[in-house]
């Protein structure tokens, strides 16, 4: 009955399952206290759908990179922050917290590493040239209001509004968020043959299964590249 009620309000399958789990916790607490005599969730199973993360193709990413936002400083900052997530795989909260202590040099290569704010899991990934350019751009910038941080900060609402405008300008029919940038990094890494365990480490996942569930999408580009060696066989 609860599922049916939430379906009337057009909740998605995973949202319904999340709400059911919350209610189940409360019900179990009531059972322990003796407030309930029977378990109303007996025989009830929550359905879960596999997550379908949104990401940008390389061509779509190039469109945003090529966009001239020099006359619109607000959108330019938002565009740079979004591109930084695409180049590093960092979540927006972790990007906002970046400071000099998060940059380390290992075997002559610059890395970004630290503890994730959301899960406290450790992330570690290469600081690629395009990401370095963005950091240099905002070095000692007056836009950085909190001393010690490496990039400007914008609230989620401002970021989402700006990204919606950018998507409209370049003709991308996707709801852009910073999490789309994170998905883009992971998906393009997979397309270019980066092992899943390396992607998992860069994203700061505690388990490679999490990376497999959310980011191990086999795109047509990857299939085409992987099967080039088979064209002489079939």
Q: Dihedral of CA 99/101/102/105: which sign?
A: positive
Side-chain-side CA neighbours of residue 133 (13 Å)? 7
What are the residue ranges spanned by the domains of the chain? 1-49, 58-225
pLDDT attached to residue 190: 85
pLDDT tens profile 116-140 = 987 778 999 999 999 999 999 999 8
pLDDT at 2 over 60: no
pLDDT tens profile 24-71 = 888 888 888 888 888 877 767 776 665 567 899 999 999 999 999 988
Q: Give me the mean pLDDT over the 3-16 stretch.
A: 63
Please state, rounded to an integer, the average pLDDT across all residues of the chain: 84
pLDDT attached to residue 171: 95
User: Considering the chain, what percentage of its residues have pLDDT values greater than 70?
Assistant: 84
Q: Which residues make Cβ contacts (< 8 Å) with residue 144, sequence separation at least 6? A: 138, 150, 151, 152, 153
For the domain made up of 58-225, the CATH class stated in words is: mainly alpha
SS3 at position 121 = coil
pLDDT attached to residue 50: 58
pLDDT attached to residue 62: 96
Q: Report the predicted TM-score, pTM, of the whole model to 2 decimal places.
A: 0.76
pLDDT tens profile 132-167 = 999 999 998 988 878 889 999 898 899 999 999 999
What are 85's two structure tokens? 């997530």
pLDDT attached to residue 165: 95
Q: How far apart are CA 217 and CA 40, in angstroms?
A: 38
Are 180 and 55 in contact, with CB atoms under 8 Å apart? yes
pLDDT at 224 over 80: no
Report which secondary-structure segment, H or E, holds 111.
strand 109-115
């Amino acid at each position: 009955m609860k599922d049916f009620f939430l379906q009337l309000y057009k909740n998605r399958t995973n949202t319904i399952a999340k709400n059911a789990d919350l209610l189940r916790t409360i019900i179990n607490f009531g059972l322990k206290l003796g407030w309930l005599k029977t378990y109303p969730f007996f025989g009830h199973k929550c359905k879960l759908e596999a997550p379908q993360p949104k990401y940008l193709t390389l061509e779509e990413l190039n469109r945003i990179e090529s966009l001239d936002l020099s006359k619109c400083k607000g959108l330019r900052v938002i565009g740079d922050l979004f591109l930084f997530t695409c180049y590093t795989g960092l979540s927006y909260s972790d990007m906002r917290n970046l400071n000099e202590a998060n940059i380390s040099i290992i075997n002559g290569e610059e890395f970004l590493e630290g503890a994730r704010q959301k899960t406290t899991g450790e992330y570690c990934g290469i600081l690629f040239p395009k990401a370095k350019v963005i950091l240099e751009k905002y070095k000692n910038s007056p836009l950085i209001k909190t001393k010690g941080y490496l990039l400007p900060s914008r609230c989620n609402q401002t970021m989402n509004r700006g990204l919606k405008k950018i998507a409209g300008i370049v003709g991308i029919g996707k709801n852009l968020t910073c999490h789309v940038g994170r998905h883009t990094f992971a998906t393009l890494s997979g397309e270019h043959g980066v092992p899943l365990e390396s992607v998992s480490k860069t994203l700061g996942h505690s388990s490679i299964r999490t990376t497999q569930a959310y980011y191990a999408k086999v795109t047509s580009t990857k299939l085409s590249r992987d099967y080039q060696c088979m064209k002489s066989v079939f």
